[in-house]
Amino acid sequence: MKILVINGPNINMLGIREPEIYGSKTYADLVELIKKEAESLGVEVKFFQSNHEGAIVDEIQQAYGKFDGIVINPAAYTHTSVALLDAVKAVGIPTVEVHISDPDTRDEFRKISYIRQACVATVKGKGFDGYIEAMKLLTKNNKI
Ligand code: CA2
């Protein structure tokens, strides 16, 4: 099984500012954590982080026929992007939406998620562990 882990804008800045919301660990720490979990789940994993909406759309499209699952934290594009929603719908790959914080308990504008309707599940407010939960959900889904 192959899982693509996508992170959106500013996730590369994790650990640098706003530790009270996102924790003090970095993007590199996140990648390490997921790699370890992927090993124990026996899945192959690819990481992609971009600050550019179109680049994320391109990455989702190239996953078609190559990946069995997508874990995506679209970051701010969660709340703005119909293009990401359409891309996930277009490829039809089981996708789990992840958020480190719980956007539903923050600013009003963070309560909207466009991508959510194309996702098999949403994991939010669980810190980095949310990505692990998402991987487990996808591996389970794949066995059914
Ligand atoms: O909680 C999440 O994972 C979010 O997707 C993170 C996004 C935010 O726009 C979403 O509403 C919820 C922000 C990504 C990281 O932003 C940083 C801001 C300051 C310092 C470091 C990262």
Would you give the DSSP letter of residue 57? H
Does ligand 1 lie within 6 Å of residue 100's CB atom?
Answer: yes
Taking the whole predicted model, whether its pTM rises above 0.85 is answered as yes
| Cα gap 71→104, rounded to integer Å | 19
pLDDT of 23 reads 82
Q: Would residue 129 count as lying in a domain? A: yes
Q: Would residue 93 count as lying in a domain? A: yes
Over range 98-104, report the average pLDDT: 97
CB-CB contact of 85 with 114 (8 Å)? yes
Q: Would residue 107 count as lying in a domain? A: no
Q: List, as one string, the DSSP characters of the chain.
A: -EEEEEE-TTGGGTTTS-HHHH-S--HHHHHHHHHHHHHHHT-EEEEEE-S-HHHHHHHHHHTTTT-SEEEEE-GGGGGT-HHHHHHHHHHT--EEEEESS-GGGS-GGGG--SGGGG-SEEEESSTTHHHHHHHHHHHHHHH-
What is the 32 CA–ligand 1 centroid distance (Å)?
19
Over range 2-29, report the average pLDDT: 93
- The angle, 0 to 180 degrees and rounded to 10, between the axes of the packed helices 82-91 and 53-62 is 10
CB-CB contact of 9 with 75 (8 Å)? yes
For ligand 1, mutation pick of 72, 78, 113, 119 (most atoms within 8 Å of CB): 78
Q: How many CA atoms lie within 13 A of 60 on its CB side?
A: 31
What percent of the chain clears pLDDT 90, i.e. is strictly above it? 90
Q: How many domains are there within the chain? A: 1
Does ligand 1 lie within 6 Å of residue 77's CB atom?
Answer: no
Atom of ligand 1 nearest to the CA of 124: 1
Q: Would residue 106 count as lying in a domain? A: no
Residue with CA nearest ligand 1 atom 20: 17
Q: Would residue 109 count as lying in a domain? A: no
Q: Would residue 110 count as lying in a domain? A: no
What is the 76 CA–ligand 1 centroid distance (Å)?
7
Does ligand 1 lie within 6 Å of residue 17's CB atom?
Answer: yes
Domain that holds residue 92: 2-101+115-142
Decide if 131 is catalytic.
Answer: no
CATH of the domain at 93: 3.40.50.9100
Q: What is the pLDDT of residues 47-89, one digit of tens each?
A: 999 999 999 999 999 999 999 999 999 999 999 999 999 999 9
Q: Would residue 74 count as lying in a domain? A: yes
